[in-house]
Structure 1
Amino acid sequence: MKIEMQSENKILAKINKSVGALANPSSYDLVCHEHRLGEPLPSIDKLEKIVNMIREILFPGYFGNTSLRPNTIKHYMGVYVDELFELLSEQILAGLCFTCEKPEEVDFQERSRFAQGLASDFIEFLPEIRRKLVGDVETAFVGDPAAKSRAEVIFCYPAIRAISNYRIAHQLLLLGVPLIPRIIGEMAHSETGIDIHPKAQIGEAFTIDHGTGVVIGSTCIIGNNVKLYQGVTLGAKSFPLDEDGNPIKGVPRHPIVEDNVIIYAQATILGRITVGKNSIIGGNVWVTNNVPPNSKIVQFKAREASFADGAGI
């Protein structure tokens, strides 16, 4: 390959041409956010710090330097919660500012106080989030023979990290916090490969074994004591369109999974269907119709071979 030496003028001309093209409003009008001076922007780094701090509060002794001595733990909790309140208030405010359609009509100080109120509402719910996560950890520990301890589950299992982010994000979404819940959910998705939309409704004692490739859509409803394996998709089959041919937002389009259901690896369940309680969905199956309670859905060839061997499924 022949390398051509370029003159300084030619190099500057190419750079200036790119700058002009990049500054052309027609090239960025759909993806540009006009920022108001003085308003905070959402920060991935700060949100990561917030999630890590919440994890430290919810699982004391596992993350950070929280002391478990009875005479100091309340002090540590107070310090962490105070810092969490400040950071979370700022990021909630940033989300409110970022998504506001008419910022000139909103009083900034009033919006700031509103963000602080939402942050305090979330902190008030932290004990309940911990209670649910304790149930998730216990379910993962009891249900996995490879787990040596609850500590191993908390430290090592990607499902607990993803479910923790989900329960944090879901509560923020229920409080009406914009944008921030989705960012927190996508943090876990990037880190673990488990994609749980914060709008999904997930009951207690929930667990995901292995986890990579799991997708749970925004309008999913999942009951209590449900277990998923890697690669499970709870997705949408089709998208209703409006008169202009655009997808209609907010329509329930993902599955309902009732209590005590197990869904094995790579199963794909699509549409607003119901998987009845106490059912088992085998691996690599495609389900687009309602499944009655107490059902077992498996691939026909696998079932046939199993019965021929006298094993049953």
Structure 2
Amino acid sequence: MIVANSSFLDHLQAQRTQYRYKLPSRPDAGRFIDQLMRLLFPVTQDCQSASQHVEETYQKIHQQFIHLLQPLASTLPASPEIITDQFFEQLPAIYDNLLLDAHAIVDNDPAAIGIEEVVAVYPGFYAISVYRIAHELLRLNVPLLPRMLTEYAHGHTGIDIHPGAQIGRSFFIDHGTGVVIGETTIIGTNVKVYQGVTLGATHVAKSMAQKKRHPTIENNVVIYANATILGGRTVVGHDSVIGGNVWLTSSVEPYSLVYNQHQTDVRLKSLEDAEPINFVI
């Protein structure tokens, strides 16, 4: 029999008592977001989750969300019931924005067959959807849960969008793996972002927490794969194109094209074409 350290176990027991019922369940948060997605977009349902009774499903998710908020009741600006009603009142507007996001992907991705495919399987659309839901909860001053939801999406898609970011309509993330969008990022309408893009901060000091640390991306900007754009004062002007692998820490004017210039050396066809090399030892 293993002999446990009694003081250590007492410490764990005290923590268990302290945090019991104070945090939303992470599995419940994940189930809520997936069930809400199935309600909004029936094409995402599988055979086991399919339901023809929209009103019944709506009421069930409504009650489920109240239950999810209960551990946070003491930190909410209103009761879980009121917050839930306020959130569900915004669902039509969230839904309309998500349709614009889905159409942006269909319109700009040659590989997209149609909106059903985008909604059902595209990781970029899923991550954007969860972000827009989480952002609305953050706007309602719900603590912790918005980040819990976006981290759930992060784990499923590899796309990390902080719920505090401000993202305009018709947002398109292509492929998506490795995309990072920081808390104070501002993104305009009709922006396209490819895999590996980072919209981050130049400094990570805790004293910067209440300041704008992340860039502003204006309307109609395209940011290609693995570009890194940093800094709260960095503004990418509208209708600009940021090329792949660019490292940008200063603002650019509208209609700019920013890219890395590569040097290309022609390889020798054979060793016979090479100049003799003298080695000195």
Q: TM-score range by the shorter chain?
A: 0.7 to 0.9
Residue identity opposite 2:85 in structure 1:
S
> Alpha-carbon deviation of 1:285?
0.8
> Alpha-carbon deviation of 1:49?
1.8
Q: Hey, what does 1:198 align to over in structure 2?
A: 163
Q: Hey, what does 1:81 align to over in structure 2?
A: 58
> Alpha-carbon deviation of 1:189?
0.3
1:252 and 2:252 are equivalent in the alignment: no
- Can you give the 5+ residue segments of structure 2 that lack an aligned partner in the other structure? 266-281
Q: Hey, what does 1:213 align to over in structure 2?
A: 178
**Given the two structures, how large is their TM-score scaled by the length of structure 1?**
0.77
Looking at structure 1, the residues matched to 171 and 134 of structure 2 have their Cα atoms a distance apart, in angstroms, of: 16
Contact 1:204 1:225 in 2 (8 A): yes
Residue identity opposite 2:34 in structure 1:
N
Looking at structure 2, the residues matched to 45 and 36 of structure 1 have their Cα atoms a distance apart, in angstroms, of: 17
Contact 2:43 2:119 in 1 (8 A): no
Deviations 1:137-185 (A, max 9, x none): 1010111111112111111110011111101100011011111101000
1:160 and 2:125 are equivalent in the alignment: yes
1:127 and 2:70 are equivalent in the alignment: no
Aligned partner of 2:201 among 232, 236, 245: 236
The verdict on how the C-alpha distance between 1:251 and 1:174 changes in structure 2, with shifts beyond 3 A counting, is same
Q: Hey, what does 1:297 align to over in structure 2?
A: 258
1:282 and 2:231 are equivalent in the alignment: no
Looking at structure 2, the residues matched to 22 and 124 of structure 1 have their Cα atoms a distance apart, in angstroms, of: 47
> Alpha-carbon deviation of 1:24?
6.8
The runs of 4+ residues in structure 1 deviating greater than 6 Å are none
> Alpha-carbon deviation of 1:23?
3.5
Q: Hey, what does 1:73 align to over in structure 2?
A: none
1:148 and 2:102 are equivalent in the alignment: no
1:65 and 2:28 are equivalent in the alignment: no
- Please, what is the CA RMSD of the aligned residues? 2.4
Contact 1:56 1:66 in 2 (8 A): no
The within-5 A match list for 1:160-179 is 160-179=125-144
Looking at structure 1, the residues matched to 7 and 124 of structure 2 have their Cα atoms a distance apart, in angstroms, of: 44
Give SS of 1:247's match.
helix
Deviations 1:159-218 (A, max 9, x none): 011111101100011011111101000000001000000010000000100000000000
Give SS of 1:211's match.
coil
* Deviation larger for 272-281 or 58-67: 58-67
Looking at structure 2, the residues matched to 61 and 285 of structure 1 have their Cα atoms a distance apart, in angstroms, of: 37
Looking at structure 1, the residues matched to 50 and 107 of structure 2 have their Cα atoms a distance apart, in angstroms, of: 28
Q: Hey, what does 2:278 align to over in structure 1?
A: none
Contact 1:165 1:185 in 2 (8 A): yes
Looking at structure 1, the residues matched to 90 and 54 of structure 2 have their Cα atoms a distance apart, in angstroms, of: 15
Q: Hey, what does 1:95 align to over in structure 2?
A: 72
Q: Hey, what does 1:104 align to over in structure 2?
A: none
Contact 1:260 1:278 in 2 (8 A): yes
Residue identity opposite 1:256 in structure 2:
T
Q: Hey, what does 1:35 align to over in structure 2?
A: 18
Deviations 1:213-259 (A, max 9, x none): 0000000000000010000000000145xxxxx53422110000000
Q: Hey, what does 1:136 align to over in structure 2?
A: 101
* Deviation larger for 83-92 or 201-210: 83-92
Contact 1:40 1:90 in 2 (8 A): no
Count of matched residue pairs: 261
> Alpha-carbon deviation of 1:87?
1.0
The verdict on how the C-alpha distance between 1:65 and 1:28 changes in structure 2, with shifts beyond 3 A counting, is closer
Give SS of 1:269's match.
strand
Give SS of 2:199's match.
strand
> Alpha-carbon deviation of 1:48?
1.6
Seq. identity, %: 40
Looking at structure 2, the residues matched to 282 and 193 of structure 1 have their Cα atoms a distance apart, in angstroms, of: 21
